[in-house]
Structure 1
């Protein structure tokens, strides 16, 4: 039977991977391919070779309204990949990690792309099981639009305190390049950041995302905040609470087994690399010693520009998914 345009909006097997000029790129997927794909950007691992390019103009002007999505929003490099992978249970839900179309919609601010992205990422194999989307940094600035689609959607807002965030975001040349790139892509929100030092850019990005989370808590009653350090320190109860909040079937014993298994003893973005919380803490201590001047510079920037930062952290703590 020939594939129709309507079919593209029904089955997750037809995954809208990205927008490329005037075309929408669909790649073949199955449940196993979603589980294998740690990210759904250029690192996607499709179910088969090949792609289908469909003119965006040929897709519905008003695509089907998105079904409910459970969200993981995060400020980057704070354990979101680990959390999303731990929640990925092939028999109990569908998890999409960083769909590229949603990021493209956030950066472009095109309503057409936003409608197509949100419609297609909400597809599911079983209508009774949740679809969970782990977004990425630019999508945090779409939070009002996403909340308008479904204010009651469950969401986790994953964040770090300033010093912990700086240690994560400034720890290598590659991370600093990412920082410059992402702040450059968000000039519609930040303006021109070219004159800022890396530490100041990092402070700016941290504060802007916390403000976005603070605003989201006012319009999304089922949003809960999660300090990543609590997740790292006590992963089993946090994982169990996260699963319960997002509607994923998981017992305390399940969570304990997952957090004591290989996922939590390897690097979440590269399972071939051994890594656990002890290694993370040792690395962070070394990084913080090396970042003395950067830490001071970022703190000064926050003192001058983020008078609301402490209040936001207090608000996030009051909206905590689980008590520390």
Structure 2
């Protein structure tokens, strides 16, 4: 059977995984493959072997408008994978966790392939169940364009306080390596969203890098909340402390048909008792709190340094947090 462009745009079985030069790379998927793929980057678990390359130019001339799509945006290491997996109903909606193509174009905010990517990500198996896309840190910087394309889209803005964020992303060498890489890749955009004058020195220490990344994302979220009436703010600590309550509100906001009994079963089951990125590892909120307590002792000087960096930026952080506080998921 010969595939047409219409087929590529219509069926989630043909998944736009990534871009390679002038080609769009599609991999074969089905509902089960999406459900078991914790992430849709290099860790994807496709339905079959074999990728297909299609010229981007051929696709760009036939892009239909994206179908209504829901979003989970987050600041990293804040329970977003757990939330997205808990909302993944294998018989109903489709949840796409960290699509590689979306991340690729996030490093060039004016990349014209966003419309193509958004259209491809909006595909669904059931017309009555909107697809949910969980982004990642780079895709936060696409929020202004996403809002311009679909201001009415439901979105959850998952975040942490500065202190909790620092404790989450400065706690290991691997996390710091990630922090340095992403803040280097996004340096220009971070400078813009933190109000740094042109030519100003970039944050140097890990603590300053983390503070700058946090502030940039808080300001992005505040702007999104101001122009997207269906944006809701969620502090990750609230999710960790009251998962059933938050999951109930999140499912309602994103139109996921989860019953009270289904939510109770998920919260009491293995999903919330194992590491969301690796279900073979036992990990729950008690372990997370113990790890955070240990990190708080070790990171005290850097916590102070980061807070000082934020304080030097005046009222920007306070204004952003006030805007987010005005649109809570649970109010």
TM-score range, shorter chain: over 0.9
Report the equivalent of 1:36: 36
Distance across 1 between alignment mates of 2:54 and 2:282: 41
In 2: Cα distance, 1:223 partner to 1:311 partner: 17
Q: Is the 8 A contact 1:184 1:193 kept in 2?
A: no
Partner residue of 2:194? none
Structure-2 change in CA distance of 1:195 and 1:317 (3 Å): closer
Question: Residue 198 of structure 1 is aligned with which of 196, 206, 214?
Answer: 206
How big is each residue's C-alpha offset from its partner over 1:167-202, in whole Å with a ceiling of 9 and x where there is no partner?
001111111111111111112313587551000000
Distance in 2, matches of 1:289 and 1:189, equals 32
Counterpart residue number, 1:126: 126
Query: Shift of the alpha carbon at 1:317?
Result: 2.0
Q: Indicate yes or no: 2:252 matched with 1:244.
A: yes
Provide TM-score, normalisation by structure 2: 0.95
- Distance across 2 between alignment mates of 1:78 and 1:193: 29
**Matching residue of 2:108:** 108
Deviations 1:223-250 (A, max 9, x none): 0000000000000010010000000001
**Number of matched residues?**
323
What is the rounded CA distance, in whole Å, between the counterparts of 2:108 and 2:224 in structure 1?
A: 21
Deviates more, 1:240-249 or 1:187-196: 187-196
- Measure how far apart 1:58 and its partner are: 2.2
Match of 2:220 in 1: 212
With the length of structure 1 as denominator, give the TM-score of the two structures: 0.97
Task: Kindly provide the CA deviation profile for residues 192-217 of structure 1, in whole angstroms up to 9, marking residues without a partner as x.
Answer: 87551000000000010000000001
Verify the 8 A CA contact 2:226 2:323 in the aligned structure 1. Answer: no
Spell out the pairing of 1:181-192 with structure 2 (5 A cutoff): 181-191=181-191
Distance 2:210 2:201 in 1: 11
Unaligned stretches of 5+ residues in structure 1: none
Shifted more, 48-57 versus 116-125: the winner is 48-57
- What is the RMSD of the two structures over their aligned residues, measured on CA atoms? 1.3
Q: Secondary structure at the match of 1:203?
A: helix
Q: Which runs of 4+ in 1 moved over 4 A?
A: 191-195
Q: Which structure 2 segments of 5+ residues have no match?
A: 192-199
1:314 matches 2:322 = yes
Match of 1:277 among 270, 279, 285: 285
